[in-house]
Structure 1
Amino acid sequence: MLSGLEAAFFYLFAFVAVASAFMVISSRNPVHSVLFLILTFFNAAGLFMLTGAEFLAMILLVVYVGAVMVLFLFVVMMLDVDFAEMKEGALQYAPIGALVGLILAAELIVVLGGYTFAPQLASTVSKPIPDLAARTNTAALGDILYTDYLYYFQISGLILLVAMIGAIVLTLRHKEGVKRQSIAAQVGRTPATGMEIRKVKSGEGL
């Protein structure tokens, strides 16, 4: 149980996190949404600190706030994105998005209600928690991450790689009139295509 001061901080962080998360999806200005998302991450880090998971709190601040959210903020502010046009184009994908949302909601209901369908699942997945005084949460997290969940960790890395490649493909735009380097064309050059011999008459230039 949390003490009086810890409980006060818990409710403070939780309330601000939920309120800022709601503002993320309700703000019309995308820059404001990113700023509210940064505030949400800060309060989530505070909740991690209250539970003794200082490693997760620092990772949340360094990775998400310090890198990802700052990158999103610069991208949103620097790119001239027509959000009205994007919203109009997104309406045609609304049925597919609704179908995917229903599937995800059904999966979450099945997972969260697992104890109702199979009460014995709770006893099979539970593991004893190590003593925090003898073992830090960073060491325990590393042991679990690189032993029991090693393959899942590698799969998540591949998913991030695919997401990065997809972002590059989506943002790559070829402008007309801009010369681009073609490695295949350069390597495939022959003397016949790479040189042109002209006979220049005396006293005349090319």
Structure 2
Amino acid sequence: MSVTTGLFYVFSAVLLIAAFRVITARNPVHAALFLVLTFFQAAMIWMLLKAEFLSITLVLVYVGAVMVLFLFVVMMMDINVENLRIGFWKHFPFAALVGVVIALEMAAVLMGGFRVVDEPAAVVAGAAQVSNTKELGTLLFTQYLYPLEVAAAILLVAMIAAIALTLRARKDSKYVSPGDQVRVKSRDRMTVVKMAATQTAAEPAAPQAETKA
């Protein structure tokens, strides 16, 4: 067994264990961290398959951005785990049935891709001199340029909409208009008051004499 095959089995075993822990962990934060580990192992498997662009993209996008956002949301929401588990076993048979159907469908579709076919030596020699990242970039910006621009526009609209939804006026927050901050002058921020250098201390009042009846 080669080193590449051994690493593939190691990464696959860790990936399966981490994926199983994602759905069995009681703490949502732990489940999110196990999902991060799952993404890392999948990236390593793609690296073994010489798909370095997909591997780096998975780490940068999902692990570096999406999962960090998930962790912040989960930690800020303070989810009550006990309420989430109410009715779990009631819906478990139907959920298991759906999972089995999905697994069988995926196996039927992907089974043809697991067959090992010997490629011609000329194709293998030519593929060794070509960078798949370069070829993918050339393909995206030539043949799929318009779909790429449409996807970029949709993501931009989604980002603007998300920012607009969060900009809500709150009565308990102190807000200062950026326009007023830009237009402010130094004389408006500070007022110089002229005062005497020294001032005489006020004399204490004389005590009043007690009157006797």
Displacement, 1:49?
Answer: 1.1
1:5–1:85 CA distance, 2 compared to 1 (3 A): closer
Determine the C-alpha separation between the residues in 1 that align with 2:109 and 2:153.
27
Determine the C-alpha separation between the residues in 2 that align with 1:163 and 1:87.
29
Displacement, 1:83?
Answer: 4.6
In the TM superposition, what whole-angstrom CA distance separates every residue of 1:130-174 from its partner, at most 9, and x where no partner exists? 933221111111122222322332333244334434544665555
Please give the residue correspondences for 1:148-167 in structure 2 after superposition, counting only pairs within 5 Å: 148-165=143-160, 167=162
1:162–1:13 CA distance, 2 compared to 1 (3 A): farther
User: Does structure 1 residue 138 correspond to structure 2 residue 136?
Assistant: no
Q: How many residues align?
A: 153
Larger radius of gyration: 2
1:166–1:33 CA distance, 2 compared to 1 (3 A): farther
Determine the C-alpha separation between the residues in 2 that align with 1:11 and 1:59.
22
For residue 109 of structure 2, what is the amino acid of its counterpart?
L
Determine the C-alpha separation between the residues in 2 that align with 1:163 and 1:16.
35
Please give the residue correspondences for 1:1-206 in structure 2 after superposition, counting only pairs within 5 Å: 4-77=2-75, 79-83=76-80, 112=109, 131-165=126-160, 167-168=162-163, 174-178=169-173
Unpaired segments ≥5 residues, structure 2: 86-90, 113-122, 181-213
Displacement, 1:70?
Answer: 2.6
RMSD: 4.1
Q: Which consecutive segments of 4 or more residues in structure 1 shift more than 6 A?
A: none
TM-score with structure 1 setting the length: 0.55
Determine the C-alpha separation between the residues in 1 that align with 2:175 and 2:124.
58
TM-score with structure 2 setting the length: 0.54
1:66–1:174 CA distance, 2 compared to 1 (3 A): same
1:15–1:159 CA distance, 2 compared to 1 (3 A): farther
Unpaired segments ≥5 residues, structure 1: 89-93, 116-127, 187-206
1:177–1:50 CA distance, 2 compared to 1 (3 A): closer
